[in-house]
């Protein structure tokens, strides 16, 4: 991978092109395999938007243009290790007790207040155990994603069940955090799900809202 793959990408207006080229070289050293979809996004940036506004040129510090913003966020292509990990996570979901918990969660967990939550799955109950199994499983998966171990885009392509879990629990999560004085509770699940929603909307505008309504989360 080198800069020659991106003909005509960088603007030369007042040094902006050199800023872009330096950033690109640095990123490629750290990540030699950016996906073609990322490069396509960079190519799609209008040339005019790559030029540095006069007020920015007059100031000091590093100028970040739309192309460099995309390059900063680019992710490597998925590898066989990503695929194997994803398949392993899928196999874990087939464990009998976790499968029962997922079935209960999908059919019955619709709590939006602490009162509804406590009535539906009181401490010590099988339902409470099921809630904890499902949410802790997806929190674990989300932590793998947030730490960069699993390719994010590959996961989003087939991980909608995590989004299902999050949307069903979204209303009650801040209430549980406050009651337990635990602001980090299921934070990875929340962070990855919010990124998932943004990706989903970028891929198919309106599809996430329709999904949330369909599962009774709205």
Q: What is d(CA 131, CA 142) in angstroms, rounded to the nearest whole number? A: 16
Assess whether 54 and 115 both reside in one domain.
no
Assess whether 125 and 141 both reside in one domain.
yes
Return all residues near 133 (Cβ < 8 A) that are at least 6 apart.
Answer: 97, 98, 101
Q: What is d(CA 93, CA 168) in angstroms, rounded to the nearest whole number? A: 18
| This prediction's pTM | 0.68
Provide the terminal-to-terminal Cα distance of the chain, rounded to the nearest Å: 45
| 168-217 pLDDT per residue, tens | 999 999 999 999 999 999 999 999 999 999 999 999 999 999 999 998 87
Assess whether 68 and 85 both reside in one domain.
no
Return all residues near 113 (Cβ < 8 A) that are at least 6 apart.
Answer: 171, 172, 175
Domain boundary among 47, 72, 97: 72
| 27-40 pLDDT per residue, tens | 555 454 555 555 55
Assess whether 38 and 139 both reside in one domain.
no
Assess whether 104 and 142 both reside in one domain.
yes
pLDDT for 137: 98
Domain boundary among 72, 94, 125: 72
| 38-48 pLDDT per residue, tens | 555 555 545 44
Query: Which structural domain range is residue 64 located in?
Result: 3-72
The number of distinct structural domains making up the chain is 2
Assess whether 120 and 161 both reside in one domain.
yes
Give the number of residues written for the chain.
Answer: 218
pLDDT band at 3 (very low <50, low <70, confident <90, very high): very low
> Is 145 exposed, middle or buried (CB count within 10 Å of its CB: 0-12, 13-18, 19+)?
buried
Average pLDDT score over the chain:
79
pLDDT for 4: 44
């Amino acid at each position: 991978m080198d800069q020659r793959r991106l003909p005509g990408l960088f603007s030369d207006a007042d040094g902006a092109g050199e800023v872009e080229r330096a950033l690109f070289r640095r990123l490629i050293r750290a990540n030699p395999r950016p996906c073609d979809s990322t490069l396509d996004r960079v190519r799609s940036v209008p040339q005019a938007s790559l030029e540095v506004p006069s007020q920015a040129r007059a100031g000091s510090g590093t100028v970040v243009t739309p192309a460099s913003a995309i390059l900063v966020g680019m992710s490597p292509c998925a590898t066989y290790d990503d695929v194997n990990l994803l398949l392993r996570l899928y196999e874990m979901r087939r464990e009998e007790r976790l499968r029962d918990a997922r079935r209960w969660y999908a059919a019955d967990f619709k709590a939006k207040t602490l009162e509804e939550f406590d009535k539906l799955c009181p401490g010590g109950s099988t339902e409470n155990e099921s809630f904890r199994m499902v949410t802790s499983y997806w929190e674990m998966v989300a932590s793998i994603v947030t730490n960069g171990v699993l390719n994010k885009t590959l996961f989003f392509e087939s991980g909608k069940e995590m989004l299902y879990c999050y949307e069903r629990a979204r209303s009650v999560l801040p209430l549980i955090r406050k009651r337990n004085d635990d602001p980090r509770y299921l934070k990875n699940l929340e962070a990855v799900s919010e990124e998932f929603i943004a990706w989903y909307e970028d891929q198919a505008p309106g599809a996430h809202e329709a999904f949330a309504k369909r599962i009774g989360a709205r």
